Chain A
Amino acid sequence: MTDRSSAAFVVFDHVQKSYDGETIVVTDLNLDIEKGEFVTMLGPSGSGKTTCLMMLAGFESATKGEIYIDGNSINNIPPHKRGIGMVFQNYALFPHMSVAENLAFPLEVRGINKAEREDKVDRALEMVRMAGFGGRRPAQLSGGQQQRVAVARSLVFDAELVLMDEPLGALDKNLREEMQYEIKHLHESLEMTVVYVTHDQGEALTMSDRIAVFDDGRIQQLDSPTKLYEEPATAFVAQFIGENNRLLGTIESRNGDSAVVAVEGTRIEAVAVNCGETGDRTQLSIRPERIAIGDSRDNVVPAVVRELIYHGDHIRCRLSVLGSDEFVVKVPNNVGARVPDVDEATEVSWDTSDCRALDSETVDQEQDSQ
């Protein structure tokens, strides 16, 4: 216990949370966050990610386990004494205060004198490129501007830890992308620790140092964005992050890291990641962009084209492969690339290293089932 508490900046140590004493929202959470890290909690709604953030902020208390910041248990410290900056989902700017007053609020309650307050407020506004907006009311600002002010307010009192609860959820797509980069740059230049909650996997992939994928109150996988996408550890992660083709089969033989899986009578070689032993059911996961039409790769299986959707830079090709009608291949719209016709019988192929055998738990959840 003591070892864990001194290990990292933020530590969740066997944390459990239940609201009603019947259902468990967060099950035995262990998470270490290093100083200066940008960690994202990603997951569908109801997966427990926001609850974790609220426990860290102090608005919910853990049913069991300890949370440490900088080596000190914070279980009994009220929210206003934790010194954590927080950006809320709908910004939570105070409508009766001007932008400058909103920013000065955390400084005022800390008893910082007026001159220093004004200085810090100006600097924070400049940081989010909102200098000159201090006199406005939040209602007079656009969504993106309110977002910037909310971020500035969470940073103005030099918090070492900043929590963000789906801060970009209310913005439209373009603005959301722009703000992603801005928050990332702020994080890089200020070097604070950020814990970010989102259900948008794109957001998580672009911004984070590490991502904790939540499902059912547990962290399914905690890894860098690259590893998470390239090497998903569970069927849930494979399905939740990015697009994924899945084929259900039975393990015929397993040899260390590799396995041979029978899908609809066809034997396919795969990397054994999170599957059982011979005879167990498994789910094969292959990314659409790792599949070629034709027989140029290791594993070749027959396919029938069902649908073509034009996407500009690529063509989404939906095929029937080994009993699955939802098998998607992205055909790049390159010079001279051959695009198959609908109903054409063809072949698809992929490398063994891109095919991962995972647990067979069927994931029916759509990625955007928020």
Chain B
Amino acid sequence: MATGHKSSSADIDLRALRRSMRRSQRRDNARSLLLIAPLLVFVLVTFAIPIFQMLTRSVDNSVVPETLPLTVEVIGSWEPADSADLPPEEVYRAFVADIQVAADARRHTVLGSRLNYEMPGIASKFRQLGRAVDDWDLEADGPFKDLLISENEAWADPVVWRTIRNYSGNYTTGYFANAVDYQLTEDGFEKRPEAESIYVMLFMRTIKMSLIITFTCFALGYPVAWLLANSSDRYANLMLILVLLPFWTSLLVRTSAWKVLLQNKGIINESLLSIGVINEPLPLMYNQFATIVAMTHILLPFMILPLYSVMKTIPPVHVRAAKSLGANGFTAFRRVYFPESTPGIGAGAILVFILAVGYYITPEIVGGRTGIFISNRIAYNISSSLNWGLAAALGTILLVAVLILYWIYDRIVGIDNMKLG
């Protein structure tokens, strides 16, 4: 009886309790949200939204349907019979009507540069056409097929029309196809000729060189971290300052310093020449070697610091225990110390790798032609060729590739095993 009574009263109390708890928590949550609100808004407005918008450009194709609304409507029903087939008159007519409207708003050039990514050279034809259509009368003149072809031979090229047809949708996979050296054609995707393919090679090079840099950072950083973790505090602090010193100088200065060292008339080559070890300067600069050396130097602290913080927690008595159990120095290291330091290796490696994969400045300055990364090509597409769609597609692929590698790493090593400090 007593328990029954108790539980029923507890039920009522519980409901009230939950209500009041939620209320009080709501207040707490609102307050903490308020505290982080400035940062949240800042990150959202200046980082998350622009990046998302940038990434949507990788599939965005709205400029074609928006500039050529009439053409897009009729070109879909045109089925090219063979590779020499040209669209019917009504497509030409719609096209001229669209261009007349676009030329008034000066938007035909935007379309021209958009289609120029797919057909190099077409942009200038659009500019010329914009001037020509001004004098044409949609009712009186025509047929427009002949008129256009007489205006410029380019409009007699079936490839132009097939391309417009392929890119008539609001969204396109064309940028992604380009980003992996494929081309969107009438028959689906088609591999670009070898001479025009660079992106897959660049992706592979970026990943391969990032792995090499990660490994060299590990090989150079591990002993340093060990020394740091096993020195008396006084020396450890001094060495830690030396490790952190590069952080206090500008990245550009550090990279430029490598230029001074590595170039043909640089310190290394000049010294080697003067002592007669070599007869002509070694090619140290503007290649993969330079990129690897300079980036290893710049990213080394990111390997040393997590390693150091993990090694600091390994009790020295573990190695002693291993020795007392009969293991020699090497075995004690291999079987006891090294496995216990793997969380630091994991953290350092993933930090260095992810930073390296997206690195831009250092390869740009010292990498030359063979030592540049995919990010340099992304930057080129954004600032020089202005093909933002392609840049966005390349960036998305890079992001996904890193996420996949991260996932594989999690499956093999386990993120829980990673310690940043």
Question: Which residues does A use to contact B, with CB under 8 Å?
Answer: 57-59, 78-86, 88-90, 92, 94-96, 105-106, 109-110, 153-154, 157, 163
Contacts and interface: CB of A to CB of B under 8 A. Distances in A.
B227 interface: no
Given A79-B320, A81-B326, A86-B325, 15 more contacts: A57-B320, A57-B324, A78-B323, A79-B323, A80-B324, A80-B329, A80-B332, A88-B317, A90-B315, A90-B317, A94-B318, A106-B325, A106-B327, A109-B327, A109-B328
A92 B339 CA distance: 15
A81 B329 CA distance: 11
Given A89-B317, A92-B317, A92-B318, A79 B331 contact: no
Contacts, number: 67
Contacts of B329: 80
22 contacts: A58-B323, A59-B320, A78-B328, A80-B324, A80-B325, A80-B326, A82-B324, A83-B326, A85-B325, A86-B321, A88-B321, A92-B318, A92-B320, A92-B321, A95-B340, A96-B339, A105-B325, A105-B327, A106-B327, A109-B335, A110-B326, A157-B325
B290 to A, nearest CB: 39
B328 A80 contact: yes
Given A90-B315, A92-B318, A85 B324 contact: yes
Contacts of B320: 57, 59, 79, 88, 92
Interface string B299-332: 0000000000000000101101111111111011
Given A80-B328, A88-B317, A109-B327, A96 B340 contact: yes
Interface in B315-357: 315, 317-318, 320-329, 331-332, 335-336, 339-340
Contact of A92 (B315, B326, B327, B335): B315
Contacts of B322: 94, 105
Contact of B323 (A80, A94, A153): A80
A79 B317 contact: no
Contacts of A157: 325-326
A84 B336 contact: no
Nearest to A103: B325
B315 to A, nearest CB: 7
Interface centre among B315, B321, B335, B339 (most CB of A within 10 A): B321
Interface centre among A57, A92, A163 (most CB of B within 10 A): A92
A86 B325 CA distance: 8
A79 B321 CA distance: 10
Contacts of A57: 320, 324
List 3 A-B pairs, minimum CB-CB distance, nearest first: A106-B325, A92-B321, A86-B324
Contacts of B332: 80
B326 A106 contact: yes
A40 to B, nearest CB: 19
B345 to A, nearest CB: 13
Contacts of B336: 94
Contacts of B323: 58-59, 78-80
Contacts of A86: 321, 324-325
A137 B326 CA distance: 22
Contacts of A96: 339-340
Contacts of A90: 315, 317
B339 A109 contact: no
Nearest to B314: A95
Contacts of A105: 322, 325, 327, 335
